[in-house]
Amino acid sequence: MTTSRRKFIKISALGLGAVAASTTAINMFGSNSYIDELVKQNVSKKFKRTATYCEVCFWKCAAWTYTNEDGEIKKIIGNEDDSHCYGRLCPRGTGGVGMYNDEDRLKTPLIRTTINGEETFRKASWDEALDLIASKFKGIKETYGAESVALIKHGAPGSHLEHLFKAFGSDTIAEPAYAQCRGPRETGFNLTFGTWVGSPEPTDIRDTKCLVLIGSHIGENMHNSQVQEMSDAIDKGVTIITVDPRLSTAASKSKYWLAIKPATDIALMLSWMNVIIEEGIYDKEYISKNATGFDELKKHVSQFTPEWAYGITTIKPEVIRETARAMAHAAPSVIIHPGRHVVWYGDDSQRARAMAILNALLGSWGRRGGFYFKEAAKVPNFPAPAYPEPKWGWKEIGEKYPLAQMGITTEVIKCALPDKENKYPVKAIMIAGTNITKSIPNKKLLEDAFDALDFMVVIDTMPMDVTGYADVVLPECTYLERYDDIRAATNREPSIAVRVPAVKPKYDSKPAWWMAKQIGERLGLGDYFNYDDFKEVIEWQLKEMGTSLEEMEKIGVKNYPRKSGPMYINEVETYHFPTASGKIQLYSQELLDLGFDAMPNYTKHPEPPQGFYRLNYGRAPMHTFSRTVNNPNLNDLKKENDLWVNPKVARIIGLKSGQEVWLKNQDDILSSFSIKVRITERVRWDSVYMVHGFGHENKKLSRANGKGINDTELISKVFTDPIMGGTGMRGNFVTILTENPHKNTEI
């Protein structure tokens, strides 16, 4: 299909949304008292509970979905046996009800069409939509090879579609969770300890004596068990050290808040290493037994004194010394938290290395109150033929970045741009469960790539912005309406959790496993989907694991004893680290051989020019990126983001709290919408801050559309990590406009 510029369609042809059902519960009349009525409503009514694990974020907390006699989902409560949530969901998990009830959900398959010269969507049957996808995929396979069909995915639907793609012969697969999020820390920690950090992070927060958060804002990110454990640690008198230019929630709970100048974290960490080594307060026995490269490190950091770091970070030398000593005092029960969204300035793998090295010096890796050795339950693969071997895939596409351990979304997307030199042409993309126009920077790249594609499919539960670029949109049902893979994440103890539908899929939505199977069968890959219902897969797997779906439906979560050995290093034996040397690598020969610094160095990063402010962004506890903003329950808690501005800056520009402003970045890119000013001392005068995920363009998101600013659209300058391809996004600067720049133009 050749199209002119792929116009963004705001799903305008969608049918009218169903009117929200009234949630009024209490009949004023005919009851003896309010309490009697309440009791009748909540107590005498029989709730049925169904096991699930949450998909509002990706912490995957196990929970119970409560449905009433009318089959309505009334509430979702955490599973007490689950180590991801300890029986308490976060606001998003509790508000998962709204994901199901959202009347703006995608309701039927949609196909792009042109009516009177206008591109729009029309409703389609499942057969028509799936036939079209299969025929396009087949056509591209015949002309270019299956590799030219790419998958960008996130969350539970991703794994079903990954199976389809691998069966089809394509390993051109990537997810924003890597190059736009946690990739650099996985590379940095892997180079040092030989292990990924993974999710949930194996941070032993509940037993830690000192928690160091560097730009990581636990409490605003509701990574559930971590938030809970941080709270438990506060009860036990933990010392929290937070390094953040903004007074985050965690910073407000900290003994030490280091209000660092943005982009100078590596300098601070180098000076911490300097103090810890110069003062001899590192874990000498642990280092001599378990690490290599200490002498090189000692020599390297000898120049990075706190006085040197003061000039860069604005953190006073005595504070640097005092905090370094506080960490050493708590060691080995100390955690320099690896963070999660760590793509900042392009030297992010090296910053992660600095964190890993500090943890090593303090002896916290593999120690109680530091990092535990994680373990996952092994779930057997359901029998299927072996996947064919693709000629190229994400690895080859990302070959410029030698230590990329997963697909780099931006590199995969670049392969769609017309270029004769391109060895790896991408002609079609399927996007599942991720609104990439709000997670991947450089909107122009995305639009150019979408424009050049022959075919694009989006699978989502909601008419997210990205659906507007698709040729075919498939409505996925929510996690409350489907079976999915068994959850077997790493943790202190291995465990499994199941997701069982509490209700039938609403509207004409379907689970992703069903879509994968249907497309697979149309592509002649039926052997890979040897089941009628995904339930059969889980039943088989659970039986192999010595349990049953019947049992799991009753308990939701099953915890197993560890098999891999103790959770912490056995001090008597020699621990073999899964690195090249079998030891912790303070000095990385691997990095040096690839032409990178063997030990982290501080690099100066660009600073905002006159009249511009660094654009910082983060999380709010009640939202997950852009995916929850339209959820009626969660939208009720926070409808739009606001622009945090220091009072000094507000005075200079003449801003008032609540005033509507627009933003323009260093590349003259304007925000699509306005944002309200929040004047607060919680941010520095050289930066502004907003919560990520707002400013939805799709009018079909009736609550989220046009509310607040999408930070990602203002991130046009990307600082790519040369080691693993992460897209650094914290080096963009904005100026504040008090007049509407779109006044005479229609958005």
Partner 1 sequence: MRYAMVIDTLKCVGCSDCVVACQTENDVPIGFCRDWITETVNGSYPNLDLELKSERCNHCDNAPCVRCCPTGASHIAEGGIVMVTADECIGCGACIESCPYDARYQHPDGYVDKCTFCHHRLEKGQLPACVSVCPTKCMYFGDLDNPNSEVSQLLKNRKHKTLAPEAGTNPHVFYLI
Binding site for partner 1 (CB under 8 A): 20, 23-29, 31-35, 37-39, 41-43, 74-78, 88-91, 94-95, 97, 219-220, 222, 224, 227-228, 230-232, 234-235, 247, 249-253, 257, 259, 621-622, 632-634, 636-638, 646-647, 680-685
User: For residues 31 and 581, which CB has a smaller minimum distance to partner 1 in the complex?
Assistant: 31
317/203 Cα distance (integer angstroms): 28
Nearest-approach distance from CB 105 to partner 1, in angstroms: 16
The nearest distance, CB 578 to partner 1, in angstroms, is 33
Residues in the chain: 747
At a CB cut-off of 8 Å and minimum separation 6, what does 236 contact? none
Beta bridge partners of 113: 120
Nearest CA-CA partner of 10 in 710, 631, 723, 704: 704
Q: Which is nearer to partner 1, 242 or 710 (CB)?
A: 242
How far is 379 from 382, CA to CA, in rounded Å?
Answer: 9
Strands 584-585 and 660-665, by their bridges, are unpaired
Cβ 90 to partner 1 shortest distance, Å: 5
Nearest to partner 1 of 251, 736 (CB atom): 251
Is the Cβ of residue 249 or residue 405 nearer to partner 1 in the bound state? 249
Between CA 360 and CA 356 the distance in angstroms is 6
Nearer to partner 1, 172 or 633 (CB): 633
**Which one, 148 or 646, has the nearer CB to partner 1?**
646
645, β-bridge pairs: 679
Provide the minimum distance between the beta carbon of 205 and partner 1 in the complex, in angstroms, as a whole number.
12
Across the strands, what pairs with 77?
A: 64
In the bound state with partner 1, the residue whose beta carbon lies nearer, of 466 and 645, is 645
Residue 633 CB, shortest distance to partner 1, in Å, is 6
Comparison of 179 and 227: residue with beta carbon closer to partner 1: 227
Tell which phi-psi region holds residue 707, choosing left (phi > 0), alpha (psi between -120 and 50) or beta: beta
Give min distance, CB of 30 to partner 1, in A. 8
Smallest separation (angstroms) from partner 1 to the CB of 200 = 14
Give the number of other Cβ atoms within 10 Å of residue 562's Cβ. 14
Choice between 2 and 33, CB closer to partner 1: 33
Q: Are 147 and 171 in contact (CB under 8 A)?
A: yes
The pairing of strands 149-153 and 173-174 is parallel
Query: Residue 652 CB, nearest distance to partner 1 (Å)?
Result: 15
Q: Element (H or E) spanning 327, and its range? A: helix 317-330
> What's the 3-state SS for 64-101?
EEEECCCCCEEEEEECCCCCCCCCCCCHHHHCHHHHHH
Nearer to partner 1, 682 or 717 (CB): 682
- Residue 482: CB minimum distance to partner 1, A: 21
Q: Please state, in angstroms and rounded to a whole number, the distance separating the CA atoms of residues 597 and 590.
A: 10
For residue 639, the 8-state DSSP code is -
Distances (CA, A) of 257 to 108, 241, 308: 50, 6, 20
**Tally of CB atoms within 10 A around 495:** 22
User: What's the min distance (Å) between Cβ of 684 and partner 1?
Assistant: 7
Closest by Cα among 669, 654, 665, 704 to 688? 665
Please identify, using beta-carbon distances, which residue of 150 and 251 lies nearer to partner 1. Answer: 251
Residue 60 Cβ vs partner 1, minimum distance, rounded to whole Å: 15
Per the CB < 8 A criterion, the answer to whether 160 and 139 are in contact is no
Task: State the minimum distance, in angstroms, from the CB of residue 619 to partner 1.
Answer: 11
Burial profile 666-681: b = 16 or more Cβ within 10 angstroms, e = fewer: beebbbbbbbbbbbbe
Q: Which is nearer to partner 1, 233 or 729 (CB)?
A: 233
The position carrying tokens 């929970």 is 63
The strand pairing partners of 141, in sequence order, are: none
